[in-house]
């Protein structure tokens, strides 16, 4: 783990509607995992505890008379048509498919596996799963403010962990999508999906993959107006009752940070440090993992 010293930084960004207004915030010192939790580490946890992830459990029907979902998770599947196919980028369900049997052991579904991927970040992990691992390891999930403080490092208001330029000198320093999303991935950074943790240079504070690779769960409940309330009250921690997503009213969600290998500089740019993701505590996907704090 790396020690993140007490200090102030600029939380948020004007670039994203739910990440503003930016405000200066002081965070006490804490420890943070240098890398995202790997398949090998999660496998040890499962071996010692017999833990079953949310993706490995069937989902109950939302209403009487309806059918629930079998065990499985969401997998990225490029839509037909290739790089020249017409795709409405505001409809992400064109490239997300629920795949029965997809889970951390079988990232692409039945027939896939994690052999030779021990050092890759574990994926298809829900917030509940991440919390269970943290407790087993004697750690916890970072708060959203802690995560962003660590990611920004000495660059208190930078766009990326190393500064403001995406690939300085032509070098890719994070695992994101290159090419025309979602039909063409040119893999200029060396990877089509997850990369082994530590594949890119560390941040000034010794952290890897704080931008890209996989989204990382934070402890906080998500609300689109969190920063406005924080500025007005000087102290605000959303509760489950505060949590809401305008895209899915009535569905409380937890915060995710850092973006993933599916983020593109020509599309969502969610690999930038001010960006906020979110997901239901039971939800999982092929681009979501976590790291621990202490």
Specify the pTM: 0.94
Domain boundaries along the sequence of the chain: 1-57+94-294
- Identify the CATH assignment for 1-57+94-294 out of 3.10.580.10, 3.60.9.10, 3.90.1580.10, 1.20.1070.10: 3.90.1580.10
Query: What is the tens place of the pLDDT at every residue in 98-153?
Result: 999 999 999 999 999 999 999 999 999 999 999 999 999 999 999 999 999 999 99
pLDDT of residue 64: 61
CA distances from 261 to 67, 70, 147, 175 (A): 33, 27, 19, 5
* 264 vs 87: CA distance, rounded Å: 15
Q: Examine the pLDDT at 85 and tell me if it is beyond 70.
A: no
CB 36 within 8 A of CB 216: yes
Residues forming a β-bridge with 277: 256
Q: Examine the pLDDT at 61 and tell me if it is beyond 70.
A: no
Q: Which residues contact 292 (CB under 8 A, 6 or more apart)?
A: 1, 32, 33, 37, 133, 134, 137, 139, 140, 141, 142
């Amino acid at each position: 783990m790396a020690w993140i010293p007490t200090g102030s930084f600029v939380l948020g960004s004007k670039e994203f509607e739910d990440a503003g207004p930016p405000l200066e915030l002081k965070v006490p010192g804490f420890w943070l995992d240098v890398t995202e939790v790997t398949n090998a580490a999660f496998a040890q946890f499962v071996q010692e505890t017999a833990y079953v992830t949310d993706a490995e459990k069937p989902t109950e029907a939302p209403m009487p008379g309806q059918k629930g979902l079998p065990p499985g998770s969401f997998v990225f599947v490029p839509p037909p048509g290739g790089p020249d196919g017409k795709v409405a980028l505001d409809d992400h369900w064109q490239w997300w498919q629920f795949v029965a049997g997809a889970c951390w052991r079988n990232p692409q579904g039945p027939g896939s596996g994690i052999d030779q991927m021990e050092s890759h970040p574990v994926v298809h992990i829900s917030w509940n799963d991440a919390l269970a691992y943290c407790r087993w390891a004697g750690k916890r999930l970072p708060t959203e403010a802690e995560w962003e403080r660590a990611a920004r490092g000495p660059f208190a208001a930078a766009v990326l962990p190393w500064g403001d330029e995406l690939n300085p000198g032509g070098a890719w320093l994070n695992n994101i999508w290159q090419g025309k999303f979602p039909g063409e991935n040119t893999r200029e950074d060396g990877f089509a999906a997850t990369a082994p943790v530590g594949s890119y240079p560390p941040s000034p504070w010794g952290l890897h993959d704080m931008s890209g690779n996989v989204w990382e769960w934070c402890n906080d409940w998500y609300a689109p107006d969190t920063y406005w309330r924080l500025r007005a009250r000087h102290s605000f921690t959303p509760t489950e009752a505060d949590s809401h997503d305008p895209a899915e009213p009535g569905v409380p969600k937890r915060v995710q940070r850092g973006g993933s290998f599916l983020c593109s500089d020509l599309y969502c740019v969610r690999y930038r440090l001010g960006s906020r993701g979110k997901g239901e505590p039971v939800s999982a996907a092929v681009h979501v993992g976590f790291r621990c704090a202490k």
